Amino acid sequence: MALTILLIFVLLLPISLANFSPRPLVLWHGLGDSYASPGMLEFTSMIKNVHPNIFIHSVYIEEELDKDRQAGFYGNVNRQIDLVAEQLAEIPELRVGFDGVGFSQGGQFLRAYVERYNSPPVHNLLTFGSQHMGISDIPLCRPFDLICQAARRATKQAVYSSWAQANLVQAQYFRDPANLETYLTASSFLPSINNEDTLRRNGTYSKNLASLNALVLIMFTQDKTVVPKESSWFGSEVVDDFSSEVQRGFRLTSSRSIVPMHLQPLYVEDWIGLRTLNEQGGVIFDICEGEHMQIGDCWEAFVRNWTGEIVENLR
């Protein structure tokens, strides 16, 4: 009798296992990269070594690699997120949800997807060196990167012009601590996903972000590209009109006074659901040692811990 039960179990095991697989994963590359660059393809391969049989989709704006790279510099971010939402909704493997990994600006773009759409839903979202509270300086370009240099010049010349806010990606998350009034009225992307506009605050954003299982915020310790680097942890530079009581909570980092996440009005008043998620234990702060996007082996522990959970196939 016991032998018969064991034989039935062995015969049914392959069928049972076929109903389970790692939760799918979506990647959104960073500035200066493309969805199928050699680096992204290598990273995808390494993830599959960690999680065999995992389905991975790399987000693209343009299928042609050069055009996809250019779209990281030039384009309307809000339209790009709309396009990606349509793209993800059409992939059968993602129908019941996925984990997300965003590199640099790809991280806050995936967060915007969660807040505005989240259908299919995101379970765990990992962001590497992302500019959640924007940037207060335009990062330098690599030598001979003409696309980057042209975009940087144009952004610095008129960051809050209507043209820049419709066409230059970095301008759309530039947050000038000395000119917040103009930022709030002219910036077309970041004030929206951070729900900073008191007249048009969107309750769906907070509901959707709070629905995450985990938001893993990864900062590069020597990051000089994201200014300030604490933006990766929802930190921002001090502005002059903060009260002295609040300023006592600031910490000085690299000659910049930083407002940490828990003192941000965005957090205190829970504009995007960040406080709710944190009080649920869902906000995780971590680091990678080194410069911006010098991931090295740092990625592997995060990928093992926060992606690839075995789930039942319900599609």
Amino acid letter, 60: Y
Whether 292 sits among the annotated catalytic residues: the reply is: yes
Contact assessment for residue 12 and residue 128, using Cβ atoms and an 8 Å cutoff: no
Compute φ and ψ for 285, nearest 5 degrees.
-100, 130
Structure tokens given for 253? 């980092």
Helix (H, G, I), strand (E, B) or coil at 68: helix
CA distance 289 to 141: 21
Residue with tokens 């300023």: 247
Cis peptide before 38 (omega within 30 of 0): no
Cα maximum dimension of the chain: 81
The residue from 33, 99, 176, 223 that is catalytic is 223
The residue with tokens 């759409």 is 117
**Rounded Cα gap, residues 129 and 113, in angstroms:** 18
Residue with tokens 């590359």: 29
Contact 211, 118 (CB under 8 A): yes
> What are the tokens at 2?
């016991």
29, 123, 132, 292: the catalytic one is 292
In the set 21, 104, 187, 236, the catalytic residue is 104
Is 262 an annotated catalytic residue? no
Q: Which residues are tagged catalytic?
A: 104, 223, 292
